[in-house]
A and B are shown apart, each in its own frame.
Chain A
């Protein structure tokens, strides 16, 4: 069965960076893209970007351009999301999610989420 297992909760100071991992299993990693979505406390879902696990092509949300980097390691079937210059409003649960059938057709499999807290 398809599983996405994310790294554990993080507490960071403003200005620091965080890197969240998402280890995939149960399918051919390079056949599907991975999206990253975050959810601030009590708020809705916010798309952060998408990476092709096939060739590493990325597409980032405009508001995060320059602060976010998404990568993959095909040898370990792991996707990574790094966010830099953290601010308090980056406090959120961060999810990775796999394309269901193809890119832009919804995310059918989600990780359990990683809480990132930014606080001085």
Chain B
């Protein structure tokens, strides 16, 4: 089955840029979606279809996808961005949705 690999943790100072990667075999050929989840809350979709933002999501959140790596970029990081972030794809070969293992973003 298809595997998505995320770093367990990423740390960044306030005001800096955080980049969270999601690795998968030829992931550039798939549509990648990203979720933010804060403790005790349901996930929130922050980027869909590689780089589109749902309404209400700040422009500081952006995404890219090429080759074997998709990236969620959070610019001008704020304390409120501290959360777990998950990538997700649809794997047509197995006809199933796959989540990455999640990345804990810590704002120093």
Contacts and interface: CB of A to CB of B under 8 A. Distances in A.
Contact of B45 (A44, A46, A50, A108): A108
Interface residues on B, range: 20 to 34
Contacts of A100: 45, 48, 54
Interface stretch (A12-20, A73-81, A84-92, A109-117): A109-117
Contacts of B35: 45
A112 B42 contact: yes
A44 B48 contact: no
Contacts of A50: 97
Nearest to A60: B96
Contacts of A46: 99
B94 interface: yes
Interface residues of A, number: 23
B99 A105 contact: no
B49 interface: yes
A9 interface: no
Given A46-B99, A62-B96, A106 B86 contact: no
Interface of A: 35, 37, 44-47, 50, 59, 61-62, 95, 97, 100-101, 104-108, 110-113
Interface of B: 1, 31, 33, 35, 37, 42-45, 48-49, 54, 86, 88, 90, 94-102
Closest 6 CB pairs of A and B: A106-B33, A106-B48, A110-B42, A47-B97, A104-B90, A44-B102
Given A44-B102, A95-B42, A111-B42, 5 more contacts: A62-B94, A100-B48, A106-B48, A107-B33, A108-B45
